[in-house]
Structure 1
Amino acid sequence: MKHTLSMGSDQGTVWAKLYKTDFIKDSGEYLDRDLVNGVDQEFNVRIVLHSPRIVSIPDDVYSYVYNPSSVVRTFKSQYYDVSMRTVSAIRDDLKSSTLPADSVKRIFDIYCLDRLLMLLMNYVCNPHAPWPYSKRKQVFHAVCRNECLSKALKTIPLSAIESKTRRIIIGFAKFNLFLPIYCACSLRYRQLKK
């Protein structure tokens, strides 16, 4: 589960998995049609909870080519709502698991911080968002006040985040420092355009 919901790895995506057809059919699990964002992550959480044996290769086995004009990077006003609906669904899946509660809480909180990073990049600081800086700052504070996200910001130590750049951004978020987050995201968008 830790690997599936790990920060910045995209290991929760279905396209990063191979399943035996019989296993999928026998599991009775299907993609949740009510979700719009992260459907594959939520599906994988349920599949991992049913799996008697999991084989994982945590190494890169393909090369991802970033597409700055991807539909993922376009601004969607409902991005926050659909993202948080997926976070809630995954939280509910994990609550129903038999995994140790402490482990589940830590895994979920780290996953929430990953979702916060996605929200900062694809929603709050998205250059296509129709907001001036002052509105973005308000949206940032509202996002960080979300129950799941604020709890994760309070409970997960920065040392638990492997990536230095992610650790820095999460550190700024912990201290409600929006300007450096906005500058870092803006710089990242410029880098990705090249």
Structure 2
Amino acid sequence: MLEVKNVVFAYPDQNTPWNFHFSVEPGQCIAIHGASGSGKSTLMNLLAGFLQPKSGDILWQGKSIRNHAPWQRPMTSVFQEHNLFEHLSVETNIGLGIHPGLKLTQEDRQAIERGLQKVGLGEFGMRLPGDLSGGQRQRVALLRAILRQQPLLLLDEPLTGLDSDAGDILRQLLLEQKANGTLMVLASHDKEDRRILADSACNL
């Protein structure tokens, strides 16, 4: 279970701090909903460890991860910026998500190949991110996150820029991850994404 217990945060020029409080079970998805500036991306950065709260706690399976570095947390993130390495191929970008030293097994390489086929990018493995559209880059980023096989997945507008067919493919992929026990925190303006993927909501 992920527990966010009265996590308080404010930027230096912010008069009223945010206070986040909710919990989610494995295999469930909570939708974080609110207007622009309501704190959705800030919450994602707090969960990922890129920001530190003023007070409160973040627990995973009953143990605090508040002071853990981002790479020590049992989660992976898909943010709006894709965060792909521009000078590396699609396959290498995904491989780095699986193993930072690219010490990939044959099974890992096969998983990358199958995953690219599944998201409609089977012929794109050797291309550079700059050769892809925004929607294609987002598919690569989401596939990389899923293949890391972390129990918690943070999704900040994960299907932005995708056409309806690609969106349907990735929603199905995320539903499969939920069925396998992955816990998801979803920030999305898209009502359809929230309707299909979320089991509960946290309105900011």
In the superposition, the TM-score normalised over structure 1's length comes to 0.34
User: Which structure is higher in helix share?
Assistant: 1
User: Which structure is higher in strand share?
Assistant: 2
In the superposition, the TM-score normalised over structure 2's length comes to 0.33
Higher relative contact order (CA 8 A, sep 6+): 2
